[in-house]
Amino acid sequence: MARILLKFSEHIVSKPIVSEVILELEVPITIVTAQLNSKGGEVLAEVPEETLDKVVEAFRKKGVEVRLPKLIEVDKEKCINCGSCVALCPVEAITLIEDCSIVFNKEKCVGSTCSACVDACPARAIKSVKQNNHEVHSNRP
Amino acid sequence: MEEKALNPQKNTRTVAEINEKIRKGDAQVLTAEEMKRLVESSGVEVAFKEVDVVTTGTFGAMCSSGAIINVGHSDPPIKIDNAWINNVPICHPGAAVDLYIGATAMSETEPFEYGGGHLIEDLVNGEEVELRATAYGTDCYPRTQLKTNLTKDDLNQFYLLNFRNCYQHYNCAVNGRDETIYTYMGKLLPRMKNATYSGAGELNPLMNDPDYETIGIGTRIFLGGGQGYVIGEGTQHEASSQNGTLMVRGDAKKMNTEFLRGASFTRYGTTLYIGLGIPIPILNEGLVKKTAIRDEEIFTNVVDYGVPRRDRPKLAKVSYKELKSGSVTVGDRKIRVSSLSSLKTARSVASTLKAWIDEGEFFLSAPVETLPLDTKFKGMKQTEATAYVANVMQAAVTCKETEEVSAIAKRIVTKSVNHIMVVDDQGRLNGIVTSWDITRALAEGKTVLSDIVTRRVFTAKLDEPLETASKRMAQHHISALPVIDNEQKVLGIVTSEDVSKLLGRS
Ligand code: SF4
Ligand code: SF4
């Protein structure tokens, strides 16, 4: 799965663009998080790797700004299991387990759009990394 | 001389007796967590009979740490004046080639990301580091420049020498301000959205012997994965308020990076995480009771680190049990809390120390001198006054949201001010308008005040140091801050003009 960040402007936010793309391309698009109101907003979504290019193109045709957010990775070797990151995570993607080591749930993490934990890690074990080999440049004007 | 077999009736034992058992391989050792469970299930008497040693441990950021190294003499020799290793500035406290690597000294090329703590970790790890030095040159030490690469094997001595480690317990930090702050207690989100704490609670060495009955000068300890010694009380030691600390030393060549790590606190600086464990000999039933202490009996204060003063407001009292549960209650709010120190590694310190004793690799030592129980941690004597917001605050000119733009324009002229605070009927801050906002509104023909009010206002507190208020203005490119109290009521205003008049004076 690849993750895409869709930015909707005030003018298009009320249109059912995500559903349109799903129907037109017949690809499953999973919404991870959405922050939208009448003034526009952002949707973080997941699409199958092999459909990424056409999905991105379809959204752009409809006037949506598309970006490929970086993913968060935790380097287990560097991590000292201090737990500093745990309470900062808004979606509980990082949790402490029984033996007091931390577990990072990549699926839950919303990626570089959040990054709240990154600069709080004293061991610098948390990094944002590019999604594998995809080069989707921002189409922001 | 052979010790006689322990009299079953005897209600004390000595360190020498325990060491004899360790030698024979039949000393009973429990970690502090295991001891608590045993005392709870079987009682003090049984625990005293069964247990000889309780091992404790902690693993956390200990900023007052460092390493003393001796790099040997070069040819021709140099009397080092300034030195850097991997671009980290190094102290030269002694004669020619003794250097002290402070854990918090930061690299000049990578500040905040690499520092003395990382350098000590790299050395312990066997990595090669680059020493650069300069000197003024003397008849006996003619050299003035030096550059060489070293590993720990090239050093004559490499000792961790920490003047304050192992705090008994520490504050729990929150941030009452409107902005995220980065502190030595980590990243603190605005409006108390998270909390941080440090320390291992019931596993903490000093919490298991709070009267320093067995911990003193000469106590052999676990330090950074090797063995070390307590060499005295730490700086700022205040046993009477449970703020005891230790000064320790240990051979860093024998340490390992599982228990010693450099660390970076964003916008605060670098430091060193160290694992420190102390074996508590169970000499009497009193020590059984002391080592049975639980997290629910160890309390600390929730402190507002948003207030940049020495005495920060204490908002609540919480136990380590609450802290370890992941959230604390302050007033009617539940705040998520995370630790800065690692409980996992603290446990690993205690269990490693236990294994060493079990295997006869570590013997206990009785202190040669006890630590002081009556020292006080004084604040600094200051002979120059510090400026606070209260020193330059002026009366604020205010208005109500219902007033017309033209009325405000008049007030700006008659009072000759640039900022007007918009307040509600109780005098609480609702926004701010500047003379610039008014000029523009008049030019654009706007008459309703609420259209031009700035709602997100940066504020200052009366007892805040002027320097931090001034920094906030510079950071947000603004020229004044309303001064408010805890109820958001406007007390006055502080302007950048007044600040520079006062701070620029010296
Ligand atoms: S980036 Fe945000 S969502 Fe992801 S783990 Fe860090 S804090 Fe949680
Ligand atoms: S803050 Fe960094 S070192 Fe600490 S637990 Fe999280 S990832 Fe590990």
- Please report, for the domain that includes residue B407, its CATH number: 3.10.580.10
- Pair (B239, B335) in one structural domain: yes
Dihedral sign of CA atoms B135, B140, B146, B149 in order:
negative
Residue B3's pLDDT band (boundaries 50, 70, 90)?
very low
Helix (H, G, I), strand (E, B) or coil at B94: coil
Q: Tell me which architecture the domain covering A2-67 has in CATH.
A: 2-Layer Sandwich (3.30)
Return residue ranges of chain A for CATH 3.30.70.20.
Answer: 71-129
Using CB atoms, which residue from A83, A120, A124 is nearest to B339? A83
Residue B2's pLDDT band (boundaries 50, 70, 90)?
very low
**Domain extent at residue B82:** 72-155
Q: Which residues contact A91 (CB under 8 A, 6 or more apart)?
A: A33, A108, A109, A110, A114
Q: How high is the pLDDT of residue A14? A: 87
Neighbours of B465 (CB within 10 A): 16
Range name among B97-111, B122-136, B141-155, B438-452 with the lowest pLDDT average: B438-452
The number of distinct structural domains making up chain B is 3
List chain A pLDDT tens, one digit each, 141 residues: 889 999 999 889 888 999 999 999 999 999 988 888 888 899 999 999 889 999 999 999 999 999 888 899 999 999 999 999 999 999 999 999 989 999 999 889 988 889 999 999 999 999 988 887 555 555 544
Which of residues B308 and B274 earns the better pLDDT score? B274
Distance CA B134, CA B83 (A): 6
Return the ∠ at Cα A10 (arms to A7 and A12), rounded to 5°. 70
- Pair (B222, B331) in one structural domain: yes
- Pair (B187, B226) in one structural domain: yes
- Pair (B413, B393) in one structural domain: yes
* Residue A106 CA from chain centroid, whole number: 10
Q: Which residues line ligand 1 (CB under 6 A)?
A: A 72, 88-89, 91, 93-94, 109-110, 114-117
Domain assignment present for residue B339? The answer is yes
Cβ–Cβ gap B187/A99 under 8 Å: no
- Pair (B183, B284) in one structural domain: yes
The answer to whether residue B470 scores a pLDDT higher than 60 is yes
CA of A47 to the centre of ligand 1 (A): 20
Task: Answer left, alpha or beta for residue B191, where phi above 0 means left and psi between -120 and 50 means alpha.
Answer: left
Residue B94's pLDDT band (boundaries 50, 70, 90)?
confident
* Contacting residues of B for A80, CB less than 8 Å apart: 59, 261, 263, 273, 342, 345
- Pair (B98, B134) in one structural domain: yes
CA of A81 to the centre of ligand 2 (A): 5
Calculate mean pLDDT across residues B481-495: 93
Calculate mean pLDDT across residues B170-199: 94
Last residue of a domain, one of B370, B399, B421: B370
Residue of the CA atom closest to atom 1 of ligand 1:
A115
Domain assignment present for residue B86? The answer is yes
Q: Is the CB of A44 under 6 A from ligand 2?
A: no
Contact B158, B123 (CB under 8 A): yes
Length reported for chain B:
506
Q: Searching chain B, which residue's CA lies closest to the CA of residue A125?
A: B263
Domain assignment present for residue B96? The answer is yes
Question: Quick check: is B63 catalytic?
Answer: no
Residues B382-441 pLDDT 10s: 888 888 999 999 999 999 988 888 889 999 999 999 999 999 999 999 999 999 999 988
Cβ–Cβ gap A122/B265 under 8 Å: yes
The tokens of A132 are what? 């594998």
Q: How high is the pLDDT of residue B309? A: 84
Contact B261, B286 (CB under 8 A): no
Domain assignment present for residue B14? The answer is no
Contact B305, B172 (CB under 8 A): no
Options B91, B140, B172, B399, the catalytic residue: B140
The answer to whether residue B349 scores a pLDDT higher than 90 is yes
The answer to whether residue B7 scores a pLDDT higher than 60 is no
Calculate mean pLDDT across residues B314-326: 95
Return residue ranges of chain A for CATH 3.30.70.260.
Answer: 2-67
Last residue of a domain, one of B136, B155, B174: B155
Q: How high is the pLDDT of residue A113? A: 85
- Pair (B221, B325) in one structural domain: yes
**Average model confidence (pLDDT) for chain B?**
93
Identify the CATH number of the domain defined by range A71-129: 3.30.70.20
